[in-house]
Amino acid sequence: MKRFFLGLLALLLVAAPLGASAQEDGPNVVVADGNHKGSLELVGHSSLNDRGMNAALAVHKNYAYVGSRTDGKAENANGAGVLVVDVSDPSKPEVVHEIGLPHEGNEGETSREMRVWREQELLIVMNLGSNCAAYLHGCSPRTVEDNYRFYDISGKNGAQPKFVAEYKPSMDPHEFYLWVDPKKPKSRALMIQSTPSGAARMLVTDISRARQKKFPEIATWSSTAEAYVHSMALTPDGKTAYLAHNEGGFMVADTSEVVAGKAKPEIRTITPPANAADWDGPGALHSVAPLFGKNKNFVLTTDEAYGELLRALGSGGCPWGWSRLIDVSNPVKPKIVSEYKLPQNEQDFCTTDAPRPSSSYSAHNPTLTEHLAFISWHSGGLQVVDVSNPRKPKQAAEFLPEPILFALQEDPALSAGQDKVVTWSFPVIQDGLIYVADVRNGLYILKYKGPFDKEVTKTKFLEGNSNIGDAVKLGRL
């Protein structure tokens, strides 16, 4: 693959691709024109104490949990932990607690990713030390081991999570996908982790006995392609993995032995590296999410490129990254069929007169219903894309947060530009409402009205980085 990365930056930030494999047919390129038929109504908002540097979002029943992109340095130790937000009244979300020292908000680590194993009522917080850089995240130079911490959030513990266990993986993770066994949802779950600096590119850990502090690492996967997997998503049954292999393009792997519980399971590569779907562009492959129903042979991907701060290092700047739809009906040779952009992702936007565009209008994390994709899009807010025809995606709605007047800490790479919106987290749908976190501006709770809105209002729970809730049902369509 004709991609490269710059030393340590490659482990902290997805590097910019230099070239790509040719596609037999050019994809259909769609640019949002603002003539969407739907809307996102603001139900509730919390600025999260105006702290800024918000990261991952997890939602369970009456509480939302929001991590931090920065660490607990001496000057901000009271505020860099995991915030607990009471959302029992969605119109009035209220911060009621912070998981702080000694388990969260430590110097040198950032609570970057979170999930909830709902059947076990376990909050999983991934704390990164290896990926907590001063110039990207405003972190202390102190080096801390990466870890996962598990918290009981059952009953009254929902408001004040109770520490259960800590797991330090054998390889530093970057992101993870939570897969809960549909046949044993109360007793079996796996974490599939991307491991950018490890000997392998993915690591699978069985967390079924997390409450007993047992974390067997049961499988790894490596590729002959260069560099690392940034993130991955599994089909709800867990048998197939779609890989955002940053340096190697989009690939498909067989994970059926892992989810079947075989002894010494093997993850098998389906897409030869030479056939990986790859492309030119300023961004780098970041996230993937499978479509459902009649479109289950398609996958949505997002690219990410940061703002002006990192342009000099070759990894940022206009026109950033956008979204693509890939046909995986032949997983040996996946094919890009369409692209979805905002006007800010057009090259012409990059040549406008002063002020030079410096924020990041980059796609980031997607959550999909049967016909809709909810995509956090940095300065582009929350985008809702109609993917009922994967070859012709179109904008269904968008929500652009109103920036708060002041944040205690600006993100040095993402909110240092003129736009003060950085919609970042995987959107979470619970009881028909959409929850999403903005790095700078806090937690937003939204209601969607428009094409296919019934499939949103009837959703009990759905998120893009696990198979929990309605995902299994959607996977059977």
Read off the pLDDT of each residue in 402-413 and give the average, rounded to a whole number: 90
pLDDT greater at residue 159 or residue 222: 159
| DSSP string for residues in 240-305 | EEEEEETTTEEEEEE-HHHHHT-SS---EE-S-GGG-B---SSSEEEEEEE--GGGTTEEEEEEE-
Read off the pLDDT of each residue in 377-399 and give the average, rounded to a whole number: 97
Give the pLDDT confidence score for residue 143 in this predicted structure: 82
% of the chain at pLDDT higher than 90: 73
For residue 375, give both structure tokens.
């995509």
Is 60 exceeded by the pLDDT of residue 128?
A: yes
- CA 114 to chain CA centroid, nearest Å: 10
Average pLDDT, rounded, for the chain: 89
If we measure between CA atoms, which residue out of 374, 475, 360, 384 comes closest to residue 425? 374
Domain boundaries of the chain, sorted by first residue: 9-475
Q: What is the pLDDT of residues 23-44, one digit of tens each?
A: 456 899 999 998 999 999 999 9
Is 70 exceeded by the pLDDT of residue 225?
A: no
Q: What is the pLDDT of residues 355-380, one digit of tens each?
A: 566 788 999 999 999 999 999 999 99
% of the chain at pLDDT higher than 70: 89
Residue type, 440: R
Cα separation of the two ends of the chain: 36
**H-run or E-run covering 429:** strand 428-430
Is 90 exceeded by the pLDDT of residue 385?
A: yes
Distance CA 176, CA 328 (A): 22
If we measure between CA atoms, which residue out of 340, 330, 416 comes closest to residue 379? 416
Q: What is the pLDDT of residues 110-127, one digit of tens each?
A: 999 999 999 999 999 999
In sequence order, which ranges of 81-128 are alpha helices (DSSP H)?
none
Q: Which fold has domain 9-475?
A: Methylamine Dehydrogenase; Chain H (2.130.10)
Grade residue 431 by pLDDT with cuts at 50, 70 and 90: very high
Find out whether 185 and 119 touch, Cβ atoms under 8 Å: yes
Neighbours of 39 (CB within 10 A): 16
Q: Which range among 77-81, 105-109, 130-134 shows the weakest confidence by mean pLDDT?
A: 77-81
Is 70 exceeded by the pLDDT of residue 14?
A: no
Give the pLDDT confidence score for residue 78 in this predicted structure: 58
Grade residue 417 by pLDDT with cuts at 50, 70 and 90: confident
For residue 66, give both structure tokens.
């929001």
Give the pLDDT confidence score for residue 415 in this predicted structure: 82
**Predicted model pTM:** 0.93
Give the pLDDT confidence score for residue 284 in this predicted structure: 77
Q: What is the pLDDT of residues 307-334, one digit of tens each?
A: 766 665 556 678 889 999 999 999 999 9
Q: What is the pLDDT of residues 179-210, one digit of tens each?
A: 999 999 999 999 999 998 777 889 999 999 99
- CA 78 to chain CA centroid, nearest Å: 26
115's CB contacts (< 8 A; 6+ apart) are 58, 123, 124, 176, 178, 463, 465, 466, 468
Neighbours of 242 (CB within 10 A): 27
Find out whether 343 and 304 touch, Cβ atoms under 8 Å: no
Strand partners, 289: 300
- Cα dihedral value 410, 416, 417, 422, nearest 10: -50
Give the pLDDT confidence score for residue 16 in this predicted structure: 32
Is 60 exceeded by the pLDDT of residue 134?
A: yes
Residue type, 278: D
359-393 as b/e: b if 16+ CB within 10 A: bbbbbbbbbbbbbbbbbbbbbbbbbbbbbbebeeb
If we measure between CA atoms, which residue out of 250, 269, 345 comes closest to residue 3? 250
DSSP letter at 469 equals T
Q: Which range among 79-83, 372-376, 448-452 shows the weakest confidence by mean pLDDT?
A: 79-83
Give the pLDDT confidence score for residue 3 in this predicted structure: 41
If we measure between CA atoms, which residue out of 154, 146, 167, 160 comes closest to residue 212? 167
Phi, psi of 218 (to 5 degrees): -105, -15
For residue 266, give both structure tokens.
């093997």
Q: Spell out where 309-387 has E strands.
A: 323-327, 335-341, 366-368, 372-376, 382-386
Query: Which three-class secondary structure state does DSSP give residue 344?
Result: helix
Q: Provide the total of helices (H) and of strands (E) in the chain, helices listed first.
A: 5, 30
Give the pLDDT confidence score for residue 176 in this predicted structure: 97
Largest CA distance in the chain: 61
Is 90 exceeded by the pLDDT of residue 5?
A: no
Find out whether 238 and 179 touch, Cβ atoms under 8 Å: yes
Grade residue 227 by pLDDT with cuts at 50, 70 and 90: low
Read off the pLDDT of each residue in 394-399 and give the average, rounded to a whole number: 98
Q: What is the pLDDT of residues 52-72, one digit of tens each?
A: 999 999 999 999 999 999 998
Distance CA 239, CA 65 (A): 29
Read off the pLDDT of each residue in 384-404 and give the average, rounded to a whole number: 97
